[in-house]
């Protein structure tokens, strides 16, 4: 067997499934190879926003967080590591992806960039984004 085939339960009995049986899976990899994705959870309380972002397989040195007002941008670079194979071994399928993954989103209130805390452990980036206190309206005396 020259190629490793993985069953895909999301496909039903249709023409494309029939084609997949006859051709190598690499012919249709454009659809199967998904973009790198970053899944996030955002919560808030009266003082701050908390963000948890799944970024597995990334070194903390390769994660960049930028805060500008109420905009938050997270970017991470995954790098390929040199594969070593034994003599006569060949790669049948490689699904690990390498490249840049990024996510930007806006919050309802500006963030105090000086107080942002970021931690990365077990593939999860945790951000603590304190809310910027709104400028107090000053009353103008009319003379």
64-115 pLDDT tens trace: 999 999 999 999 998 766 565 667 777 777 777 778 899 999 999 999 999 9
Confidence (pLDDT) at 31:
41
Cα-Cα-Cα-Cα torsion 83, 86, 89, 92, nearest 10 degrees, comes to -30
Confidence (pLDDT) at 14:
64
**CA dist., res. 39 & res. 54, Å (int):** 5
SS3 content of the chain, % helix, strand, coil (to 5): 15, 35, 50
**CA dist., res. 67 & res. 109, Å (int):** 12
pTM comes to 0.64
Sequence-separated (6 or more) residues with CB below 8 Å from residue 79: 62, 98
65 or 1, which is more confident: 65
Q: Is the pLDDT of residue 28 over 90?
A: no
**CA dist., res. 85 & res. 79, Å (int):** 19
**CA dist., res. 107 & res. 70, Å (int):** 5
Weakest-pLDDT range from 3-17, 27-41, 64-78, 110-124: 3-17
Sequence-separated (6 or more) residues with CB below 8 Å from residue 18: none
Q: Is the pLDDT of residue 44 over 60?
A: yes
């Amino acid at each position: 067997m020259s190629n490793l085939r993985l069953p895909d339960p999301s496909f039903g009995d249709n023409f494309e499934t029939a084609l997949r049986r006859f051709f190598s899976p690499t012919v249709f990899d454009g659809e199967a190879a998904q973009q790198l994705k970053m899944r996030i959870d955002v919560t808030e309380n009266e003082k701050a926003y908390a963000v948890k972002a799944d970024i597995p397989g990334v070194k903390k040195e390769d994660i960049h967080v930028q805060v500008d007002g109420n905009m938050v941008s997270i970017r991470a670079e995954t790098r390929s590591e040199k594969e070593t194979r034994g003599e006569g071994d060949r790669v049948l399928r490689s699904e690990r992806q390498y490249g840049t993954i990024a996510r930007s989103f806006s919050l309802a209130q500006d963030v105090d960039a000086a107080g942002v805390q970021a931690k990365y452990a077990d593939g999860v980036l945790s951000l603590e984004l304190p809310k910027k206190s709104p400028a107090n309206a000053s009353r103008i005396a009319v003379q």
